[in-house]
């Protein structure tokens, strides 16, 4: 299903459904298609909002995790969104973490899947290898447990980005910013209920990273998904949606008195 991309001032976004906001942040090579199943399922229960993050449009000085977190905060201001359930995959998770640490008052819950912020395997020393389609294809396939999840459209998209010199420079700047911006010392400040959903076969942020987030974020719960890599919402959408919906519903249940 194709969703209408709306625009307000400089912000482009998708907004479907109504009710409590569920805001989705994509990763470094992320696109709207990453969240298709999630949008389709949750728009019947929540106001699902996906801002188009300007990963490749910001000036090089602000091309960083911190720069993206500021962009997200200004976007939430523009859309008057508060008590937000904030979900991020990969670099989007890192941005969600930095935003939550800076503006805890506007975040109701945090959902991280394959998030950077503690440790991540990049594309390797030779990245980005411009002009080599097979190399980019193999690297894109490594994101998933099932390499067939890396459709030709997805590989073409990544290939076109790394073959544009300026875009490639910005991708490297963001990747380096993510590695420098380690949040290990700060995660204990996050008080929001946090859901961690991790692929057991994630090679980019391996399972031990999910366990470490779980240990460091006080009010967090961790779910592992089998036969799944770095993007559970794409590879196992039904299982991912079920875990997330159960978590969100629990947040709104009245507290039981012992």
Q: Is residue 70 part of a domain?
A: yes
Total domains in the fold of the chain: 1
Q: CB of 87 within 8 A of CB of 115? A: no
Cα Rg, the chain, nearest whole Å: 17
Q: Is residue 242 part of a domain?
A: yes
Q: What is the CATH number of the domain that holds 222?
A: 3.40.50.1820
Query: Which tens digits make up the pLDDT trace of 200-246?
Result: 999 999 999 999 999 999 999 999 999 999 999 999 999 999 999 99
Q: Is residue 208 part of a domain?
A: yes
Q: Is residue 148 part of a domain?
A: no
Q: Is residue 132 part of a domain?
A: no
Predicted pLDDT of residue 124: 44
Q: Is residue 30 part of a domain?
A: yes
- Secondary structure E strands in the chain: 6-8, 11-16, 21-25, 47-51, 84-89, 107-113, 194-199, 220-225
User: Of residues 160 and 115, which shows the higher confidence score?
Assistant: 115
Domain with 34, as residue range(s), is 6-121+182-249
Q: pTM of this prediction? A: 0.93
Q: Is residue 218 part of a domain?
A: yes
């Amino acid at each position: 299903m194709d969703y209408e991309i709306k625009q307000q001032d400089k912000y482009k976004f998708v907004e479907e459904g109504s009710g409590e906001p569920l805001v989705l942040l994509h990763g470094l090579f992320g696109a709207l298609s990453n969240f298709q199943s999630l949008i389709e399922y949750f728009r019947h229960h929540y106001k699902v909002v996906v801002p188009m993050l300007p990963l490749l449009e910001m000036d090089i000085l602000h091309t960083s995790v911190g720069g993206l977190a500021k962009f997200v905060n200004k976007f939430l201001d523009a859309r008057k969104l508060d008590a937000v359930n904030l979900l991020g995959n990969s670099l989007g998770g890192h941005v969600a973490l930095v935003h939550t640490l800076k503006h805890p008052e506007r975040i109701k819950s945090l959902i991280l899947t394959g998030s950077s912020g503690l440790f991540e395997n990049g594309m390797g020393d030779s990245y980005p290898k411009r002009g080599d389609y097979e190399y980019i294809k193999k690297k894109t396939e490594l994101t998933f447990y099932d390499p067939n999840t890396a459709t030709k459209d997805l590989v073409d998209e990544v290939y076109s980005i790394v073959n544009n010199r300026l875009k490639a420079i910005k991708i490297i700047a963001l990747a380096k910013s993510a590695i420098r911006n380690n949040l290990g010392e700060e995660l204990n400040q996050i008080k929001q209920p946090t859901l961690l959903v991790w692929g057991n076969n994630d090679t980019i942020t391996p399972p031990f990273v999910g366990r470490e987030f779980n240990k460091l974020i006080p009010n967090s719960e961790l779910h592992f998904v089998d036969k799944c890599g770095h993007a559970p919402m794409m590879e196992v959408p039904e299982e991912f949606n079920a875990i997330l919906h159960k978590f969100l519903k629990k947040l709104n249940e009245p507290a039981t008195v012992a």
